[in-house]
Structure 1
């Protein structure tokens, strides 16, 4: 709903420019009418970001538009609006916020402020997501998750995301997979694919959140962090792999992911289109809808 409002505001200020011509960076330019964002999930952080994600129902293409004018003027965080959120959506949107924080933190375009906000978001999610999932009327956990999503949004709107998002957008556009669910499944696979390039920063997060001992080596602490993500997904009822992917769709989805991420996203490890195609095989677990 927040992204829809951003898109409407963009069209109001640019009535002669269709939304697909605003894809990418800084294509709107003009200030939007007053926009007040009231999130009802603790996940996207859209109430504080410069992005709106658009799905083209005809082409099954999902893409972001990014412009500073899309940042809402005000954000209202009231945990009561999330009280009735189903457990499955609580879990998936919470892992969406975790993905924002982690991708912003491990990227190559961070600042002391974005690193601080990402760390705080990871800590809040570590301490509160399972409680909010298992006890939906716990307003303290709900409030802390709203704060986590906000802080993660602040981090990634300044430091951007990475290949998890690029792949998730392509899967969401092609198959209608909810964004938080796709992010949650892809995240541990992509963190493992980044390998040593992301290990020191993942180790930092693991030690900070108490996932690994303060004295743990980077490689072991990073592995502990990824294992914790796996355990969180399992506890939240999120599958290990994305089902329903057709191998014949992978080249086009990888091309979309490549166009979205390269060179915009400051990822720890650059991947070309063919390497991204391999990641679809990984997140599918080698099981494809159009094969026996």
Structure 2
């Protein structure tokens, strides 16, 4: 005899069926996230006091690159904050890429001053550190917890970012990369609340940037644009932003490197880097970054330089499944010709990237930084665990990564 409790009533069945249909119905849906407010243009940093006063900010905790602070680039910001009666505590201990130790030092200072707004000011390192400490202070968590893929903490402090380079895109992303020195590994935290509420992009802050740093950060932005364009998670909006960024970087980067005081070139690069940041934040990256995170930590290679060395080789690898996308990139870079077929346009895009790297004087081999064959097996293992590999358009094996490392070292 059947127990009536084992049978679902009609209303429950109808609800289950409706839920199943609702979950299966949406098609081609994509999400797009961006900072709540962005202010772009020469002198835009001078609006920071007014902007933060409107948000009722009382105390800013500024996380600044050491070199940026020594050069006095923060002075106008401090002046505007003082005029708006906003207190400011400065942490200037960020050098190169943010380490767990530096992040913990910044967190301790933030806890003591009890600021209500965290501002990352400088390159990607300062902004990544600022984003991390803002969430860690809000959630009372550690770096290990923050970088755990299952972390779901929410930020309660305000967060802003002011880039002094045109490249990392950290001012518009929900990502923070932290270096664990003891393990020689980079950990990537991705969380909606790592995205700043406010981004101020002032090309005037970039005028004194040395040529090599301009080149390296610019290639970082180009890598963001190219990888997001071909990403397995790309959508029409991210592709449009990536395409525009590729054109802008190809046109403006040589001038920005060779004539650093050219404001139109600096502005063009700043806007292009912003577009590339929005693109990859929403579409993801790929194998270039997955490998670059590992070799950068292992050999102390600046992130943009590592990306530049690896980019042409990974493009060749991905071309098997991305020929049409790379052909479109050739068109965006202005190197496609009507006489070319799709494959020739694809090859032209890779050749154009290599030529740009040579023109701006970036290294072309990992061997320049002491890369060793004996390290490649472990580096490949780590690259395959990197979050960026998930959106690479072509499936990747350990053997593939090791072969790419060997080619980039020869």
TM-score normalised to structure 2 length? 0.67
For 1:268, the equivalent position in structure 2 comes to 393
Richer in strand (by share): 2
Aligned to 2:97: none
Match among 257, 264, 283 for residue 140 of structure 1: 264
Find the aligned partners of 1:151 and 1:126 in 2 and give their Cα distance: 14
Distance 1:36 1:26, change over 3 A: farther
Give distance in 2, aligned partners of 1:104 and 1:184: 15
Tell me the alpha carbon deviations over residues 224-273 of structure 1, each in whole angstroms, 9 at most, x when there is no partner.
Answer: 110011011111111221121122211211111000147x6221211122
For 2:293 and 2:188, the matched residues in 1 are separated by 9
1:205 aligned residue: 329
Task: Report the equivalent of 2:213.
Answer: 89
In structure 2, runs of 5+ residues without a counterpart are: 1-125
The aligned residue for residue 277 of structure 1 is 402
Question: In the TM superposition, what are the counterparts of 1:68-107 in structure 2 within 5 Å?
Answer: 68-107=192-231
Alpha-carbon distance in structure 2 between the residues aligned to 1:219 and 1:261: 30
Question: In terms of mean alpha carbon deviation, does 238-247 or 18-27 score higher?
Answer: 18-27
Partner in structure 1 of residue 7 of structure 2: none
Quickly say closer, same or farther: Cα 1:194–1:24, change in 2 above 3 A. farther
- Number of aligned residue pairs: 283
Query: Are 1:10 and 1:28, in contact at CA under 8 Å, matched by a contact in 2?
Result: no
- Tell me, yes or no, if the aligned pair for 1:26 and 1:66 is still in contact at 8 Å: no
Write the deviation string for residues 153-182 of structure 1: whole angstroms up to 9, x where unpaired: 000000000000010000111111100000
Bigger Rg, structure 1 or 2: 2
Alignment of 1:213-232 (within 5 A): 213-214=337-338, 216-232=340-356
Partner of 1:12: 137
> Could you tell me the TM-score, scaled by structure 1's length?
0.93
Q: CA offset at residue 218 of structure 1?
A: 1.4
In the alignment, does 2:187 pair up with 1:63? yes
User: Take 2:361 and 2:152, find their aligned partners in 1: how far apart are those partners?
Assistant: 39
Aligned equivalents of 1:140 and 1:26: distance in 2? 43
Note the C-alpha offset of 1:10: 1.9
CA distance in 2: counterparts of 1:217 and 1:266, whole angstroms: 27
Instruction: Give yes or no for contact 1:207–1:214 (8 Å, CA) kept in 2.
Output: no
Q: Which residue of 2 aligns with 1:129?
A: 253
Aligned twin of 1:258? 384
1:206, CA displacement in angstroms? 0.8
> What SS does the corresponding residue of 1:268 show, helix, strand or coil?
coil
CA contact (8 A) 1:95 1:183 kept: yes
User: RMSD over aligned Cα, in angstroms?
Assistant: 1.4
- The SS at the match of 1:63 is strand
Aligned CA distance change for structure 1 residues 171 and 21 (closer, same or farther; 3 Å): same
Cα distance in 1 for residues equivalent to 2:339 and 2:248: 22
Aligned to 1:150: 274
Flag structure 1 segments of 5+ consecutive residues without an equivalent: 286-292
Instruction: Tell me which of the two structures has the higher relative contact order, counting C-alpha pairs closer than 8 angstroms and 6 or more residues apart.
Output: 1
